[in-house]
Copies of this chain bind each other. A is one copy, B any other.
Amino acid sequence: MAAVSDSRGMNPEEIEAASFRIIDEEAGGHDWSPEQWPVVRRVIHTSADYEYLQSLVMTPDAVTAAVTALRAGRSIVTDTTMALAGIRKDLAGSFGCRLSCNVAAADVAEAARHEGITRSVAAMRRACRENSDGIFVIGNAPTALFELMEQVRNGTCLPALIVGLPVGFVGAEESKNALASGALGVPFITNMGRKGGSTVAAAVMNALLLRAAEA
């Protein structure tokens, strides 16, 4: 282990490969399919948290749906600028996927004030109108995920995939339970419990982008 842990002479690719070997070894037996495992492993890599081995939940078609949508150049919408910052622009760009996050837009702040709703909700409403068949990535705000599900039920949008990983103590777990119930009929990747976050959501997207980039 001493040799493996000496990262200072290693390049980022070598460090990632060494990390993945450690995770493969330490994770032991699990029921994730060969198609799903790269997603789960990258989340563990990003969080250093093996809880995700048990807590992640995805529809059987989630990875395939993501790969198809990415290769078709569907847009990717995030709820936070942190998730946006963490998604690999080089890969998204190679498929022609447009990345966006409305939460800091001036007109979204204005709409939120005018309608008496949060900026997260106003940003999601606009995203649903403008990216009705996109991939939606929510790493922070339960209210954004609740709003997205509402807009799907309303028929405003039909996402290609929902990556729903809000984190926190109020609303996060409930929003993910609602998504995981499968009532929407939309492919999704989420997790059970309070954990989640922008880094985890970005890791899921990067695993899917890498998968889509494979021959």
List residues of A whose CB falls within 8 A of some B CB.
Answer: 4-8, 10-12, 15, 18-19, 22-23, 45-49, 80-82, 84-86, 118, 120, 142-143, 146, 167-174, 193-199, 202
Q: With a CB–CB cut-off of 8 A, which chain B residues contact A171?
A: 5-8, 15
**Candidate in A11, A48, A198 with the most chain B CB atoms within 10 angstroms:** A48
The answer to whether residues A19 and B197 also contact, given A82-B202, A174-B5 and a CB cut-off of 8 A, is no
- Can you report 13 A-B residue pairs in the complex whose CB atoms are below 8 A from each other? A5-B170, A7-B146, A7-B171, A8-B143, A47-B195, A47-B197, A48-B195, A81-B85, A82-B202, A84-B85, A197-B199, A198-B198, A199-B199
Copies in the complex: 2
The binding surface of chain A is classed by DSSP as helix
Measured in the bound complex, the distance between the Cα atoms of B11 and A22 in whole Å is: 42
Known: A47-B195, A47-B197. 14 other contacts (CB 8 A): A5-B171, A10-B170, A19-B168, A19-B169, A19-B170, A22-B169, A22-B170, A45-B168, A46-B167, A46-B197, A48-B172, A48-B196, A82-B85, A199-B199
Q: With a CB–CB cut-off of 8 A, which chain B residues contact A22?
A: 169-170
- Pairwise interchain contact A48-B82, C-beta atoms closer than 8 A: no
